[in-house]
Each structure stands twice: as structure tokens, then as C-alpha cells.
A and B are shown apart, each in its own frame.
Chain A
């Protein structure tokens, strides 16, 4: 089955530090990969996505590259801000399952990484 593994948290950084959150996956098909962010007291929001090998997703200064050879999708940001403090989830959506070749958009999530950024 599908699975996603993220680096253990929590991660604590000072403002303007470099961020990396590791994510690796196991999938039976050829998945799409996502990073979602959850700010305190809120639901999840899509941060970025990549749908094929070597694609780079980017948004709000965050980047992640789909690495099929290492089954990874690590999240990076060059200079974090206090407002980036949140929980980050790596996720995958497999395709080619279910009737008509669709996976019905089901997501498999990693366990989440808590990021705290101090001024």
C-alpha cells in the first residue's frame, strides 16, 4: 500500500534560518505529491504540489522537487519567518486506481512536522 514518512519534529528555528523537512514515500502507482500546511486552529491548506518526476512545486518561498529515483519530496525554504510556524504535512495521491482509472483523489498523509520559528 501507499505510505508517506516525514522527518520527526518538532523543528525549532530562528527567523531567517534555512528550512528542510524531509519526506519520502512508497506508492504502488505513479503518485502526485503535495505539501499541506495547517496553521493553529485551522484546517489544512495546500502549500504546493508536483505531479510528475522532476517537477518543482513552489509557493510563498517554499519549494519541493519530485524525485522519483529517491522517492522523495523534501520541503525547503531559504529564510523562514515567524508566520511560517505551523504543522506541515506531506501527502500523496495515487492514480490509476478505481473505476475509470481515477483514485478518487484520496490522499495518504505523513504524520506531520511541527515547525516553530522564533524571532
Chain B
């Protein structure tokens, strides 16, 4: 099993450009999440999904959109990138349902917006 994979690993954008980050998991997990990691701020939840075709806003959703057309994939889009979106982005997934299931994280995407 590959677990949670993310593409690309690195990307440099100019202000105003758009891009999509792809997250894929092969564990048949129901719930998926997108976080951003900034120095001194831990990880903050951007958007999440509790099943195919569903999405919901997290703590810092502005400037991002997401889609979950297939259970195994969760896409994060930046329509018009801004320097404030320079960050490391992590995708995670978990089995879902009741209980306290471990979240599994991808290796991250380092994004720089100039």
C-alpha cells in the first residue's frame, strides 16, 4: 500500500496563477483533510470531506476550493494564488465513523507564491 500520496512535491507560482494539488489514498478511507503548515502555527485545517461528493470548510478556507469526485482522491485548488498562501500543504485521511481513528498523512507539498 502506498498510503497517502500527494502531487506535486514542490511548486513555485506567481501571484495570480492557479494550480491544483492532488491527494490520493489507497486505504478506502471515508474522511479526508487538507491542512497547511506554517512556522510557529502548527497545522491548520483548510477543508475536509466526510465522503465522496461531500466537502466542508475548515479553519482557514478562504482562497481555496476542494473537490472529492472519487472516494480515493481529494483535490485542493488555488484559483488566484497569493503570497500569503506560501506554505507546506498536507493531506490526511482516516477511516471515519465513530471512534478515534488515526489520521494518516501524506508527505506534503511545498508551495511558494512569488
Q: Mark A28-67, 1 if CB is under 8 A from B, else 0.
A: 0000100000000111111001010000000000000000
From 47 to 95 in chain A, residues with beta carbon under 8 angstroms from any chain B beta carbon are 49, 51, 89, 93, 95
| CA distance in complex: A111, B58 (Å) | 17
Q: Which of B43, B58, B98, B108 contacts A89 (CB 8 A)?
A: B43
Q: Which residue of A46, A89, A107 contacts B45 across the interface (Cβ within 8 Å)?
A: A107
In contact, A93 and B100 (Cβ under 8 angstroms): yes
Across-interface contacts of B94 in A (CB, < 8 A) = 105
State the interface size on chain A (CB cutoff 8 A). 24
Main secondary structure of the interface of A (DSSP, over half): loop
Q: How far is the CB of A116 from chain B (nearest CB, A)?
A: 16
Main SS of chain B's interface residues? loop
Chain A residue numbers with a CB within 8 Å of B90 are 43-44
A49 to B42 Cα, complex, angstroms: 18
Assess the B105–A106 pair: CB atoms within 8 A.
no
In the complex the two chains form, is B108's CB within 8 Å of A49's CB?
Answer: no
- Bound CA–CA A60/B90 (angstroms): 24
Could you show 21 A-B contacts with beta carbons less than 8 Å apart?
A41-B107, A43-B4, A43-B92, A44-B90, A46-B103, A89-B42, A93-B100, A95-B100, A104-B31, A104-B48, A104-B50, A105-B94, A105-B101, A106-B45, A106-B58, A107-B33, A109-B43, A109-B44, A110-B42, A111-B40, A112-B40
- B residues sitting closer than 8 Å to A (CB atoms) are 4, 31, 33, 40-45, 48, 50, 56, 58, 90, 92, 94, 96-98, 100-103, 105-108
Given contacts A105-B94, A107-B43, A111-B42, 4 further A-B contacts (CB under 8 A): A43-B105, A43-B106, A44-B103, A95-B100
